[in-house]
């Protein structure tokens, strides 16, 4: 009996220890985490021991594949549907995040927000309609502003927000005028968030990918165009999603604790 009781006590202690570890696990919320850069951020954050909440718009199957990969590797992840251009839906989304935190992590808050979801542009100024313009604004800037504003109460003091910007905020390519301008605005907004939420020690930075070889924005383009862009990059190649995902995941720790209100371009030295 004494041996059985001792085993029961050990099992109880192990369960308690597991619960404590689970409660202390840091959590990142990645918007647009079903593919491309967002997928890489989610996977690499999970490899570093973070719990992951990722959002998808209409790529439910792709999101589930990311979740399955994280779980198979021993991590913990949940996906939630979110249209980042539908601002009125954010109130209900925040409730879903709060419910997920309580149910899956026994927590009331999370640590890191990655505003990654967005859409690209492939239209010259003369071909850009008001409808295209408004959609770009709603998803790439207005949505980021109001989603962050709504989620701030759930972010821990001392947490971090990373906004995914673009090299196109610094240099210009035809066909990306509105997108590039909005990413420049997002970088300005990053500094204002950092200023106003400094009282809670929440850091806010922007990461600006250069030319990344993904399907974002309507496809990878033809080989000649890809080679031209690669030749404009000091490292002589296009980036891949993991070039961004690895770096962003590396920022999700106290290693970057004094980095705040910064724009960090990850582009292999493009257009220098």
- Per-domain residue ranges for the chain? 26-266
> Nearest Cα to 20, choosing from 105, 129, 88?
105
**pLDDT at 261 (0 to 100):** 98
pTM of the model: 0.90
CB 106 within 8 A of CB 19: yes
At CA 254, angle to CA 252 and CA 257, rounded to 5?
Answer: 100
Find out if CATH 3.40.50.720 is the number for domain 26-266: yes
**Starting at the edge strand that comes first in sequence, how are the strands of the sheet with 203-209 ordered?**
77-81, 51-56, 27-30, 110-115, 155-164, 203-209, 263-266
Report how far residue 17's alpha carbon sits from residue 24's, in angstroms, rounded to the nearest whole number.
11
Report how far residue 191's alpha carbon sits from residue 104's, in angstroms, rounded to the nearest whole number.
32
**pLDDT at 268 (0 to 100):** 97
Which positions are catalytic? 179
Residue 221 pLDDT level (bands cut at 50, 70, 90): low
Residue 147 token pair: 């989603």
**pLDDT at 222 (0 to 100):** 75
> Nearest Cα to 165, choosing from 140, 198, 142?
140
* Mean pLDDT over the full length of the chain: 91
Which ranges in the chain belong to alpha helices (H)?
A: 2-24, 36-47, 60-72, 90-100, 130-137, 143-151, 177-196, 223-231, 241-251
Residue 223 pLDDT level (bands cut at 50, 70, 90): confident
Report how far residue 32's alpha carbon sits from residue 217's, in angstroms, rounded to the nearest whole number.
13
Please state the rounded mean pLDDT for residues 141-165: 98
CB 70 within 8 A of CB 46: yes
Please state the rounded mean pLDDT for residues 2-27: 51
**What pLDDT digit, counting tens, does each position of 48-66 carry?**
999 999 999 999 999 999 9
Q: Does 2 have pLDDT greater than 80?
A: no
**What pLDDT digit, counting tens, does each position of 183-201 carry?**
999 999 999 999 999 999 9
Q: Does 219 have pLDDT greater than 60?
A: no
Residue 141 pLDDT level (bands cut at 50, 70, 90): very high
CA count, 13 A, side-chain hemisphere, 265: 17
């Amino acid at each position: 009996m004494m041996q059985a009781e001792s085993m029961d006590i050990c099992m109880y202690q192990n369960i308690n220890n597991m619960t404590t570890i689970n409660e202390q696990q840091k959590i990142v919320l990645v918007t647009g985490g079903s593919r491309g850069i967002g997928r890489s951020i989610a996977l690499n954050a999970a490899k570093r021991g973070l719990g992951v909440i990722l959002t998808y718009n209409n790529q439910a199957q792709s999101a589930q594949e990311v979740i399955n990969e994280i779980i198979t590797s021993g991590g913990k992840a949940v996906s939630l549907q979110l249209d980042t251009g539908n601002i009125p839906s954010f109130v209900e989304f925040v409730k879903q995040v709060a419910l997920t935190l309580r149910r899956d992590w026994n927590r009331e808050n999370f640590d890191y927000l990655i505003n990654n979801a967005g859409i690209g542009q492939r239209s010259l100024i003369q071909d850009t309609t008001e409808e295209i313009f408004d959609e770009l604004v709603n998803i790439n800037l207005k949505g980021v502003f109001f989603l962050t504003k709504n989620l701030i109460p759930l972010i821990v003091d001392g947490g971090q927000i990373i906004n995914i910007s673009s090299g196109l905020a610094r240099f210009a390519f035809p066909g990306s005028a509105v997108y590039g301008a909005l990413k420049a605005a997002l970088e300005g907004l990053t500094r204002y968030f950092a200023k106003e939420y400094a009282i809670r020690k929440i850091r806010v930075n922007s990461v600006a990918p250069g030319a990344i070889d993904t399907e974002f924005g309507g496809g990878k383009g033809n080989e000649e165009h890809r080679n031209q862009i690669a030749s404009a990059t000091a490292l002589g190649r296009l980036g891949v999603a993991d070039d961004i995902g690895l770096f962003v995941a590396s920022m999700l720790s106290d290693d970057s604790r004094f980095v705040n209100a910064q724009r960090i371009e990850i582009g292999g030295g493009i257009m220098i």
